[in-house]
Structure 1
Amino acid sequence: MGLFRQWASFVKRLVHVIAKPMKRDFGSGGMMVQPYRGYGSQREVFVMGRVFRQAALGRAIPRRGMLRDTADVARRIFRRGFAGARVELSLGGNQLCVTTDRDGYFDVHLPISDALPIDVSWHVADIKVKAEGQSTIRTTVEVFVPPPEADLLVISDIDDTVMFTGVAEKLKMLYRLFVRKPHRRTAFPGVASLYQALHRGGSDKVERPILYVSRGPWAIYEMLEAFFQLNRIPVGPILFLREWGISWRHPWPRRAEAHKRDLIDRMLTQYDDLPCILIGDSGQHDPEVYSEVVRDYPGRIKAIYIRRVDRNPDREAAIQGLRNELADTDCQLVLAADSVLIAEHAHAEGYISARGLQAVKRDVAESYQEASDERSAN
């Protein structure tokens, strides 16, 4: 009975999180805007988001509780993008207006002519949305611009690199996220402390940009944000690889590796004064894509960290072949079974501090001990 109550609580909290973004309209429905955290430099910033219509709630639906959450989840499933809305983004003295596409998405590339303050990394941009027959909507979005002392760019995959992607593992991850204590929710042991160390750098004081990519759709943005925050993983712009909406003209999503490569090119161009580290896993073409990036950007990529997700001998041999191909470059490809091996290499190269390395070792040891205790208890 106790296990049933735990899972019932898990489902209830999960539904509440999925429903949460829908509650901003207080049940009145209409046009809504959802901006996604942006990133940029002193030259240009990027912000994406979506404008959509959602249904109103009937008067019979209570303002809170499981019934309201369920109704909001249904509204989320059936909401539709608002095409042709005018989106105006303002950051400092810089401003640009764009129009949403047929699915309601907008992608703002705002040139910076009026310099932004350099004593802060997270800036707040204003968004104003206008559409015919609708009331004007105003909101804000956070935009990360690295400080002048930033010395490295980190681009990381999410799936099977930060968290598991298998259906069974996703259920475990969600259970940890909404039922277990915060310090026991990390998907991969040591991920939080590793990314914190990379964010702070060798001096423990730098705020490096960390940009994340995923194969998932924009619809799970809030879930990933909650996962990152509860696991103490440094929050950065989360750039999803594909919009999964299909049509007769485009019946299939774009190949994940092709879209991932486009995003990496965009980030390397944006931060063309920074060397880069790429982090991925052994199972989803990351080593091949990253090796192409090394060859196309000579001297820019300093390390490729690949998390080993299986023990397939053929796959490991293929990755070893890629490592050999990169032997005459400035980049080292590291295939690692856990976060400790990545952290040890990063510390040896001066990318993280000794304090950061010890934090990773401590967190991994604690995680393995907890897993052992759980097995013994069961």
Structure 2
Amino acid sequence: MPVPSPRALYRGLRNLLRFLARPVRRAEGRGARVIQCYRGYGSRQELFLIGRVFRQPGLGLDLAEGPLNDLVNVGRRTVRWGIGGARVRVRALGSRDEVKTDGDGYFTVRLPIQDTLPAESSWQTVRLTLLPERDSDEPANADAKVYIPPVDVDLAVVSDIDDTVMFTGVANKLWMLYRLFVEKARHRTAFPGVSALYRALFQGLDGERRRPMLYVSRAPWTLYEMLSEFFHLNRIPHGPILFLREWGLTLQRPWPRRAKDHKALLIRRMMALYPQLPFVLIGDSGQRDPEVYAQIVAEHPGRVKAIYIRHVHQSPSRDCEIHQLARQVSAQGCEMILARDSLEMASHAHRLGLISDAGLQEVRADSQRRQQD
């Protein structure tokens, strides 16, 4: 691995520091309660989003913008904690509701949509207000973004992240942050051709589909901002990034939560939300994505057009297992492709009419360019 120059290292570390301090800056530096929102998704009937309520220390410092202020904000972010039982008022698209946070400060919103949406709808704004716990508390406000696809959308895409979109790294947070901000993320964190493939799937045959792109993972919510930045730097279409659990050593929860069947549950929820849409499922061969996706096909016959599994394993016996699953889903009208690279996935998607000629050529060009880097 090439060693960055001192100037590049300083610039990368400075960007990293600003990135880590960003959530506290967005909360206007208040030493109080804060709402953090994650991108959500919805249909023309209802919306779904997740967020968390924190309390963060103020420290009473009034520092000018710069590295020292960012360092202080990183410290404040590190020691902030989730607030259980907080009340959050939600308003969006003609509806309102009030929800409570769980013991770790997380809240979930499922809100019916009353307003008539434009046919070309996409990102909609949800207004959240954290209600006072005591008379001395001030309400805190935040806006969340929810993706609602256009009326004429023809497909939804669900993708795993680690070992599917990006090289393994979610479990090693510090290494991934180094790669993002010091090593130029677009060259060293995404698989060759993957950003062009996902853009082609998002755009469809005519380039105007704007299909819902939903990303699922077992990673902790603490990695949300890092992965969101990864998607931005690599020009991968933004969409809700959905995790299920918080893990790691914290004062509130010293052991990881179990996340059994989390991916299947999320996919079932999305398929119920978009009952008229067929789906494409993308994952990797390293864990149980093929088994989970085959189960989804069996439960929802005719709903899954294709399954793309990135080949990342070393065991020949795993090849046999996945080919057996492919035969099972084929009998139900779905194709499971065990692909060595993004171009193989794109070529199959092009044959099915899921992506355009231009999209396929972009994947081919991006794959060749990345392999030469």
TM-score using structure 1 length: 0.91
Structure 1: stretches of 5+ with no match in the other structure? 371-378
Distance 1:219 1:166, change over 3 A: closer
Q: Contact between 1:339 and 1:360, CA under 8 Å: does it hold in 2? A: yes
Q: Could you tell me how far apart the structure 2 residues matched to 1:221 and 1:212 are?
A: 11
Task: Report the Cα offset of residue 35 of structure 1.
Answer: 0.9
Is the aligned partner of 1:73 residue 2:74?
yes
**How many angstroms does 1:171 deviate by?**
6.3
Mark the CA change 1:336 to 1:73 in structure 2 (over 3 Å): closer, same or farther. same
2:72 aligned counterpart, secondary structure? helix
**3-state DSSP class of the match of 1:11?**
helix
Q: Any idea what the Cα deviations from partners look like across 1:42-77, whole Å, max 9, x if unmatched?
A: 111001101110011343x73333332222222212
Q: Which moved more, 1:44-53 or 1:127-136?
A: 127-136
Give the 3 Å change call, closer, same or farther, for CA 2–98 of structure 1 in structure 2: closer
Segments of 5+ residues of structure 2 without an aligned counterpart are none
Partner of 1:253: 257
Amino acid at match of 2:23: P
- Contact kept, 8 Å, 1:176 with 1:185, in 2: the verdict is yes
Contact 1:159/1:215 (<8 A) preserved: no
SS at match of 1:326: helix
Displacement after TM superposition at 1:180 (Å): 5.0
CA distance in 2, matches of 1:76, 1:285: 34
Aligned partner (choices 212, 217, 225) of residue 215 of structure 2: 212
Paired position in structure 2 for 1:238: 241
- In the alignment, the residues of structure 2 paired with residue 160 and residue 196 of structure 1 have an alpha-carbon distance, to the nearest angstrom, of 18
Deviations 1:272-296 (A, max 9, x none): 1101110000002100111111101
Partner-residue secondary structure (3-state), 1:344: helix
Q: Which residue of 2 aligns with 1:348?
A: 351
Contact 2:15–2:181 (CA under 8 A) maintained in structure 1: yes
Mapped partners of 2:179, 2:364: distance in 1:
21
2:180 partner letter: L
Alpha-carbon distance change, 102 to 168 in structure 1, aligned in 2, over 3 angstroms:
closer
8 Å Cα contact 2:104/2:252 also seen in 1: no
Amino acid at match of 1:213: V
Distance 1:64 1:194 in 2: 39
2:218, 2:262 within 8 Å by CA — same for their partners in 1?
no
Q: For the aligned residues, what is the CA RMSD?
A: 2.3
Partner of 1:3: 5
1:115: Cα distance to partner? 2.7
**Aligned equivalent of 2:199, options 179, 191, 196:** 196
CA deviation string 1:54-102 (max 9, x = no partner): 011343x733333322222222121111222221221121211111112
For the pair 1:94 / 2:102, whether they are aligned, the reply is: no
Distance 1:84 1:169 in 2: 32
Distance in 2 between the 1:184 and 1:165 partners? Answer: 14
Alpha-carbon offset, residue 8 of structure 1: 4.0
Q: Which of 115, 124, 135 pairs up with 2:138?
A: 135
TM-score by length of 2: 0.92
Aligned partner letter, 1:122: W
Q: Does 1:158 align with 2:161?
A: yes
Which amino acid letter does the alignment assign opposite residue 51 of structure 1? V
Structure 2 CA distance, aligned partners of 1:171 and 1:92? 39
- Alignment CA distance shift 1:62-1:113 (3 Å): closer
**1:300 paired residue among 303, 306, 310:** 303
- Contact preservation (8 Å) 1:173, 1:187: no
Counterparts of 2:324 and 2:51 in 1: how far apart (Å)? Answer: 40
Change in Cα spacing, 1:251 to 1:176, as seen in structure 2 (3 Å) is closer
Partner of 1:336: 339
* Distance change (3 Å), C-alpha of 1:182 and 1:243: closer
3-state secondary structure, aligned to 2:343: helix
- 1:249-290 alpha-carbon deviations (Å, 9 max, x no partner): 9944213x5111111111111111101110000002100111
| Deviations 1:308-336 (CA, angstroms, capped at 9, x unpaired) | 11332121121111112222111100011
> For structure 1, which segment, 238-247 or 216-225, has the greater mean C-alpha deviation from structure 2 after superposition?
238-247
Once the two structures are superposed, the pairs formed by residues 15-94 of structure 1 within 5 Å of their partners are: 15-59=17-61, 62-94=63-95
Structure 1 range deviating more: 96-105 or 34-43? 96-105
CA contact (8 A) 2:346 2:360 kept: yes
The change in CA–CA distance for 1:10 and 1:28 in structure 2 (over 3 A counts) is same
Amino acid at match of 1:210: M
Q: What is the CA-CA distance between 1:15 and the residue it aligns to?
A: 2.4
* 1:197 aligned partner, one-letter code: A
| Alignment-mate amino acid for residue 136 of structure 1 | P
Q: Residue 29 of structure 1: SS of its match in structure 2?
A: coil
How far did 1:368 drift? 0.7
Distance 2:225 2:49 in 1: 16
